[in-house]
Structure 1
Amino acid sequence: MIEFIGVEKTYANGTIALQNINLTIDQGEFVAVIGLSGAGKSTLIRCINRMHDITGGQLNVDEVDVAKLKGKQIRRFRRRIGMIFQSFNLVTRTTVMKNVLVSFVPDLPLWRRWTGIFTKAHKIKALEALDKVGILDKAFIRVDQLSGGQQQRVALARTLAQNPDIILADEPIASLDPVTSRMVMDDFKKINKEMNISVIMNIHHVEIALEYADRIIGIRKGEVVFDGPTNKVTKDILGEIYGGNFDEIQSSFEENSAHV
């Protein structure tokens, strides 16, 4: 369970990113966080794994007060939480397999880190993770020979290999075409349902959020203005989240996407 209790986040320059956030996210939920750029979506999910520190309130993950963790405690805590980025964060000049094996490095003895020698068990886990996202046949191909969608699947496999309870995804399909986006979203949905892994995703594509997520959290100017099941989202609610006529905003999104 993830619990935000009156969470605030103010940056050093005085910018208020989050204010009075009160949310409870249960294990196994698929949650899409939507809103305009700069609304606080990325900040919200990055507070969960302490990429950003909160400046007020309390944030608990399975009754652990995240703000109180220090040093090795933070590193151990982050092992339970996978993070997927828009930019994939892969080493493109090496193989898919080696990119997935990186997920085991924090747990290796020093000599294995220096030599880059992984155990048979680690290699089997890496191959199993690649199989779960449908790219086992790409294991020994260099990452720079893959499409964008395949690279995002490598990033997802790397996260799965660490056996997380939670996956945070920060605009994971922003740089992908519509067909590839749905393939990647299918992977997220499958993993969520079959493995009971919580997925909390910051996403600009509203229609895809409504298609795949079970729950929508709408953020506007750092505040939650909607929190409820996907089937309760109306155009009026979207207008409230996005601060205007949603049809006009959606047209702008589609026009911008066409230029990507």
Structure 2
Amino acid sequence: MIEFIHVEKIYSNKVKALQDVNVKIDKGEFVAVIGLSGAGKSTLIRCINRMHDITSGKLIVDGVEVNTLKGKQIRTFRKRIGMIFQSFNLVTRTSVLKNVLVSFVPDLPFWRKVTGIFSKEHKIEALTALDQVGILDKAYVRVDQLSGGQQQRVALARTLAQQPDIILADEPIASLDPVTAKQVMDDFQRINEELKISVIMNIHHVEMALQYAERIIGVRDGKIVFDGKTEAVTQEVLDYIYKGEREVQQAVEGEQAYV
């Protein structure tokens, strides 16, 4: 579904955020991207939905070369990709339901955008999304009255209401306590397994990545230094991703573990 082919991303300050990235992610995978701060993890996932443009190479999603899209094509493409941020990006002074309904605004007729009137069908879809993340009972509560974990679930419900094929999550549990973080990760796992939605997550919590993801991509200095199944991740692998202490050349079940 997603394929990076010799992708590079160089920022205007000459910083090489991504260097010769070659990765293929199949539909329905749960992938965790790990590495030090500044390694290029966020850049990697944000290139997928064109939040960042790549400098060279090709990025292909379902046969579409993403970096060739323009204008309306980009907006249409992004409808298929949900994005979850650490900061939630919610309107805290309004209700949970209205925050989820925001996902339908781009496709509404002009008069509905102006009046803020949503159809019965849209409300049902929004309530269904809230039910999927276990906070249907909070639909008419103001967002600023919710806990951090509940707010992240609202953000996830808003994304689910789009009916995306892919969910990108940029440090979704970084500001949550351990118990709440586990609840949110449970949501991601259930959505991945039950709805077959691909999840690509940039995450600092290595133990959570190993517990929930089926595949780990390790990034260091903008390069993919590990790509393999979760069970192949050893302390030696983590030392290599985070410290670059030792490069081991080996294959894990026929797959290249170190790149």
State the TM bucket, normalised to the shorter chain: over 0.9
Give the C-alpha shift of residue 239 in structure 1.
0.5
1:201 maps to a residue whose letter is M
Corresponding letter in the other structure for 1:93? R
What is aligned with 1:13?
Answer: 13
Partner SS state of residue 20, structure 2? strand
Question: Residue by residue, what CA displacement relative to the aligned partner does 1:38-81 show, whole Å, maximum 9, x if unpaired?
Answer: 00000000000000000010000001000010111000000000
Q: Could you tell me which residue of structure 2 aligns to residue 252 of structure 1?
A: none
In 1, the alpha carbon distance for the partners of 2:180 and 2:17 equals 31
For residue 70 of structure 1, what is the aligned residue in structure 2? 70
Tell me, in whole angstroms, the C-alpha distance in 2 between the residues paired with 1:244 and 1:160. Answer: 38
Aligned to 1:187: 187
Which residue number in structure 1 is paired with residue 43 of structure 2?
A: 43
Distance in 2 between residues matched to 1:134 and 1:182, nearest whole Å: 14
Question: Could you tell me how far apart the structure 2 residues matched to 1:105 and 1:34 are?
Answer: 34
Indicate yes or no: 2:208 matched with 1:240: no
Runs of 4+ more than 3 Å apart:
none
CA distance in structure 2 between the aligned counterparts of 1:123 and 1:4, rounded to whole angstroms: 37
Q: Taking structure 2 as the reference length, what is the TM-score of the superposition?
A: 0.94
Shift of 1:244: 5.5
TM-score by length of 1: 0.94
Shift of 1:226: 0.2
Q: How far 1:94 sits from its partner (Å)?
A: 0.2
Could you tell me how far apart the structure 2 residues matched to 1:143 and 1:198 are?
Answer: 27
Cα deviation digits, residues 69-106 of structure 1 (max 9, x gap): 01110000000000000000000000000000000001
Query: How far apart in 2 are the matches of 1:109 and 1:80?
Result: 20
Partner secondary structure for residue 7 of structure 2: strand
Task: Name structure 2 gaps, 5 residues minimum.
Answer: 246-259
Query: CA separation in 2, counterparts of 1:28 and 1:115?
Result: 38
SS in 2 for 1:189: helix
CA RMSD of the aligned region, Å? Answer: 1.0
1:8-50 Cα offsets, whole Å, 9 max, x none, are: 0000110000000000000000000000000000000000000
Q: Aligned to 1:102, what secondary structure does the other structure show?
A: helix
Aligned residue pairs total 246
From the two aligned structures, give the one with the greater helix fraction: 1
2:176: which partner in 1? 176
3-state SS of paired residue (1:173): coil
Aligned: 1:22 with 2:22:
yes
Identical columns (%): 76
Aligned partners of 2:139 and 2:190: how far apart in 1? 21
Q: Tell me, what secondary structure is at the counterpart of 2:163?
A: coil
Q: What is the rounded CA distance, in whole Å, between the counterparts of 2:26 and 2:112 in structure 1?
A: 37
List per-residue Cα deviations over 1:107-136 (Å, max 9, x = no partner).
101111011010000000000000000000
